[in-house]
Amino acid sequence: MRAKRSVYLFLIPGCLLFFIFFVIPTFYGLSLSFTNWDGLSKHFQFVGFANYTNLITNDLVFHTAIANTLKFVVTVVIVQCTISLVFALLLLKNTRVNVFMRTLYFFPTILASVSVAFIWSFIYDPNIGVLNVLLGDLGLHSLQQQWLGNRAIAIYCIAVVEIWAHAGQLLIIFLAGLQQIPAELYEAATIEGATRWQTFSKVTWPLLKPATMIVVAYTTIQSFRMFDLIFAMTNGGPGNATEVLATYIYHQAFLYNHVGYASAVSMIFMVIIAFITMAQFGLLRNRDAVSL
């Protein structure tokens, strides 16, 4: 009993911080989502589910923001995780060249997001940007674009920036997972005559599932919360083509002073993130059970 009490005492500080900085703000935001508060007035009205009803049935910008968010998240999660895993496999051995390349790939992670946004805004510039200039020098004039001004590809252009900035961070997580796999298993696979693909699918991938769960969950949550790159590069434009849920909440709360409405968006946003994250963990766990 004394040991159990000691454990509970150690849990109290963390639980207290969680309650103060998550539980209380969440319930406060939930209560505001049923009001029409503008963030400034002392008085506001209770409107019930009117904010939620309008979001689901009438708000086309909100629907666009959800679609853009899903496009961004799916692109970043699939491409970023794949690139990080491939680079981790290629740079697994602790040679000097590999250590240097790991450092090089990790370097963008330490840059401020605003700095990254300005660097890539210059690269995407349609007149003097490096990308269009390079395509012109190669004779590929037909591929030159208004990269951030084209509504069809603008959200994917920002996804490329996010992938470039954080692939190196996930590479380190994959490397840590790969280095935990016993070398004896690879030796046994070699003796049995397994091909590289068979070794990867039967040895590496199953034992890399814990690291993969962390990478996928982290990437998903970070992608859903993406705000700074989009705000600095396009601010949701052109024509709401890059408006995501995070920027939409900001615009509603601080540009239009619809704090109650923004709170309703935040609640829906939180539910979406929780549902997708739990679905990912459940899917990976089910695959683990099947493989076992």
Question: In the prediction, which pLDDT does 10 show?
Answer: 85
Predicted confidence (pLDDT) per residue in 259-280, tens digit: 999 999 999 999 998 888 788 7
Q: Does the pLDDT value for residue 289 go beyond 50?
A: no
Confidence of residue 25 (pLDDT cuts 50, 70, 90): very high
Fold observed for domain 50-291:
MetI-like fold (1.10.3720)
Residue ranges of domains in the chain:
50-291
pLDDT digits 0-9 by tens, 207-243: 998 898 889 888 998 999 899 999 999 999 899 999 9
Q: Against a cut of 0.85, is the pTM above it?
A: yes
Encode the chain in three state secondary structure: CHHHHHHHHHHHHHHHHHHHHHHHHHHHHHHHCCECCCCCCCCCCECCCHHHHHHHHCCHHHHHHHHHHHHHHHHHHHHHHHHHHHHHHHCCCCCHHHHHHHHHHHHHHHCCHHHHHHHHHHHCCCCCCHHHHHHHHCCCHHHCCCCCCCCCCHHHHHHHHHHHHHHHHHHHHHHHHHHCCCHHHHHHHHHCCCCHHHHHHHHHHHHCHHHHHHHHHHHHHHHHCCCHHHHHHCCCCCCCCCCCHHHHHHHHHHHCCCHHHHHHHHHHHHHHHHHHHHHHHHHHHHHHHHHC
The answer on pLDDT for 1 being more than 70 is: no
